[in-house]
Structure 1
Amino acid sequence: MCGQRFEVRGDVIDATPWELQETISIRVVRGGWVLYEKPDFKGEKIALDEGDIELTCPFEQLQSGQQEENGEPRDEKKSERRFIIGSIRRAVRDYSVPEICLFPEENAEGKKVVFRDTSEDARIFGFPIKANSVIVNAGLWLVFAQPFFQGVPRILEVGGYPSPAAWGVEQPYVGSLHPLKVVIYDKPYFTGKSRTITSNMKDFMTRTDPQQTVFMYNVGSIRVLGGIWVGCEKEGFRGNQYLLEEGEYHDWRVWGGRDSELRSVRIIQADLTDPLMVMFEQPEEEEGVTEENTFEVTEAIPDVELFNYKASTRSIHVLSGAWIAYSHVDYSGNQYILEKGFYNNCADWGSKDTRVCSVQPILLIILYSEPDFKGESLRFHHHQGALPDTFTTRSCRVVAGSWVLYENTQFSGDTYVLSEDDYPSLASMGCSSSCSIRSIKLVPMTLSVPSISLFGLEGLEGREITVDTEVVSLVREGFSNHILSVRVNSSSWVLCEHSKYRGRQFFLEPIEITNWPKFSSLQTVGSMFPVRQKRRFFRVKNGESGHFLSVQGGVEEMKSGRVVVSQEVDPSSDVWFYQDGLIKNKMAPTMCLQVMGNVEPAAKVVLWSETRQPIQTWSAEMKGPCSSLTFPGMVLDVKGVRRTLSLQVV
């Protein structure tokens, strides 16, 4: 680690100008990296994991003097062999479960074989897998032609490899493979013996392989290179559980342990988007009591008793996403990691009693104290009204959803709205170099057609501008940017001081601002955009009966469909989605929910072609009525009697 130093924080398209000696030393401080033989990430590749390594001209490039006319090379002393790197790419970028698909034919044809974990012997009936094409959906994979990781591996990143030549082989056979994931150390601060873990491990304290020279008596520190893992106090995934996300845990206090005891780990294999969980309350021991109280959860709940739910839970059904349940309020006490499935009793989720006081989905935003995702980190799954005074944000990763960052505590001050992406610096987040983030908020899910009105006078009067889509520049669109009052009619919006979304930002949910200059200290609005959300599937439930809105009958030749509220439904007939204001059924995506006949109380709704006029649009929140935007004052209801409706994301 001596001599001239090159520090790399991101991708390098062309590193050939670097003057390097024949042998160089490399220290990978964080993440997974790939060295390429040629610029633009082409040619042979070398994978680098975290740690120190010394390399000598791995690409065997020889830079020598020109040959003489007779074909004889000049004196060897005039030939100089040096290390040449073509390009560098950071390979570990996401938090997905690693997945690689192998196909017997080119262009992803034929029956695929899928791997999500390490396979030291991937042979089928004694023969390596033929892989004329490969698709890597997540992770950085080392692929070996022979079993038990023998031979030179091929390094495959996320993407498609339509032919053997695309992933650099002549004989497209796979005998073993594994992703790079987690490193554990037997001493604090990443010292002592280390061991890489790439799949679920029931007990990493026991020597299971006679050839394994590195085995652990205890865990002093952990580096998570990718994925979201659960660390367990005892072998076999038992005992106290600890959530381990990407980052560094220099001792047991950082991962929230009671002590340094940690014996097993497993990876969370779940889609973290659109979380939904149903909790079933423990009934009181009274004769004749048959009614069961259930609690449908789609967001973080700091205290379940605030929602008229007792802290004693009989069973839990996780329908989607991954969740953390806590034994105490405000996300404290023992934690239990819940993946998709049904937990019949407290023993199923790893607890000795039925006490569950707070819950939160694993929806991450990660703040870092240094640029390029370095330094200390803070991870959040829900609103945070005040960040620690000692922490300064310099970079950020948004794993799921859209988040609002505020310069003051309790969601006040200048705002910055970030969607799913990596933000390696304050500038990439839209912040100034002196910006200090003090609170954050998750943008709630809403189903509504975006709409905002800007007014030329105070009190929502004067010239009015109403738009339902982004505006890059009000002036360029022919409007005056002199605004004195604002009304957000629906959805969430971001108003920007200057055109092209520059300058100060203001995150606004439905609100009436009668004096915009007083509210914002600005006389103008340069540009604006609605916070758009991904398409989500949901069910519509009647609060009184507990039945679901569904389509009756088949839809193969459906020109119009009868819509009913029923307990027993055909698969997918009660699954809906929202698109541009229309409520559509998953079984009939070309049709939408519409009122037939005269628009009056108790008029029936049916599925009908979306080309029918007038176009009927709706808005809804997670709990409450589904309101008609086309006919103000009308709501979706059961038999004309106003009931509480709730949406369940599926």
Structure 2
Amino acid sequence: PCQIILFSESGFTGQKREIWGDVPDATSWELSHTISIRVVRGGWVMYEKPRFHGRKCVLAEGDVEIDNPWTAYGQSGPFRIGSFKRVVRDYRVPEISLFAEENGEGTRLTFTDSAEDTRAQGQPLTASSIVVHSGLWLVYSKPFFDDDPYVLEPGGYPNLKAWGAKDPSICSMHPIRLGCPVVERAGEPQALIYEHTGFQGRSLAVSRDIYDLRRLSGLPLPTVGSLHVLGGCWVGYEKEGFRGHQYLLEEGEYHDWTQWGGYSKELVSLRLIRTDFSAPVLVLFEAMDFEEGPSVELSEALPDTRLAGYGPVTQSIHVLSGVWVAYEGPNFSGEQYVLEKGVYRNCEDWGAADCRVASVQPIVQPLRCLPQIQLFSEPDFLGVHISFEDDQGALPAAFVPRSCRVRGGSWTLFDGQAFTGEQHVLSEGEYPTLGAMGCLSSTVIRSLRKVPVFFSEPSIFLHGLECFEGKEIELNNEVRSLQAEGFNNHVLSVRVKGGIWVLCEHGDFRGRQWLLDCTEITNWLTYSGLQHVGSLYPIRQRRIYFRIRSMELECFLCVPDDVEDMKAGRVVVSSLSDQSSFIWFYEEGLIKNQVAPNMSLQVIGPAGKGAKAVLWSENRVPRQTWSIDSSGRIHSQMFEDMILDIKGGRSYDRDHAIIWDRAEERPTQIWDIQVL
């Protein structure tokens, strides 16, 4: 399926439209001079005029803001879009043929990939006719994709006039391809199943797994005639019980069985993928049961396993994180198998009849980590529902939540208004009943609050006496029962040094709960009414991407050089651009940059004032971890009392990141962490 989300204003605001297929006439849409477009799936062409005529604007997958492109050609007044067409809708290899003579005659050159400079000995390649066999191609008369391209859709172009050219020179070209499968609404699973093709006949809305469509109580159906996946990522199966041919079902419309790539009309069981899609990693093993032999570890799509020096035979797979789709053929073709986190010891484990895996790709979720919670008035996510993205000091008086979905972040629910009363801490997931939420059947939730984002490694100290005296227990991971682990659970003071923790009254995380961030509680009895802690765990936070902005200089921390083949990379402050080198993430205490995920921020040289901070291999020992406090200071955990700073002055390296003693008179030590 293909999808565009169009916003009538810049900044992804204004009226929102979801586009699932061709739009022959969009001239009635009211738009501002600048619009925002999110292309979720597919390669699209936006036309100046209705019925796919006039000038063209190509839209590839991703987010973009567009000023009226037609004004340069004389269009006045508000932005008007004539029509939309989806052109790239599958993983077919793009192919274009250039001919030396008109009407497809003469010498022929065929391309299946991007070419930034086709010139030979300084002379441009020329073409008098073109055939686009597959894909959407951008053809340039200058090298390195310079100047406006000619947009060529599948079909024949018998002469220069057919593609609007006067000069036969073709110096560069680029095909628009599909990216990895995407899930936009992982936390809002819903699919509409129709009895017949074209969304006709009886219909059924589902938000949970279906073991056998033919045995549903109330509305059994013989098979799925057509399908609209409104939210979540699903897997459809040819047979009951999640067996037979597998079909990945992304968000979108499927008018009939051919659109989900079916081998037949049969689709009788559905399974929802409930997992974390971030940071995907898997390992393919040629031998069964992970025995010695060739293997390859992947963290991104691979259209042909031979490109990684690995053959087409895979007999066991270990998915370390994320969700993957393995394909029988290259270029994501043939039988498909959806793989979730876990081990697959043989091909039968992933539903295959043989061990051929020729291409793999992850299912990705866009980098949007806004916290969100959905509350439902009835169990099993039924009844009236309300969604929140911000703290709520008082829920509507007539609304009594009985189930909920946590879509993003972690939340604390309170049975009193203004964040008072008993606490119930919920991480991302589904909670179909009050019991699943850790509440009594009589509990009424009156307020709720987001668990704040944090940048520190979990660390907590439990003391046997008040004021942090007596026996000390230091913990960095969850403990299901202090007593079962051999500790005396008698606790009278608590110090949280890092992370955010949930302390529970009883073992197995039962009973009353208390959410604690970096804090010191000198008297646990006064604070909680208890003299013990039954169990405790640190909040687990998804990988969060952010920019690091100097409050004083109004510049952003970045990596200015290509560090892919370098041992170390400079870290400086600079004016913001849209490059990935300005995007950072926090992982197990390490601060990493998106352009070099296997490197981390580290101090080199003697660790005194002014020592430089660079990107260095994360395998360097000892590990250099960091924490970021609420005031915006970035602390080195290895070099005590040292803060990330900017060198300053007038030397050539004045914009370089360094460490310095904490000093109130150095405002360059204060950073603004801008979560994306």
- Scaled by the length of structure 1, the TM-score of the pair is 0.49
Report the TM-score, using the length of structure 2 for normalisation: 0.48
Q: Quick check: which one's strand share is greater?
A: 2
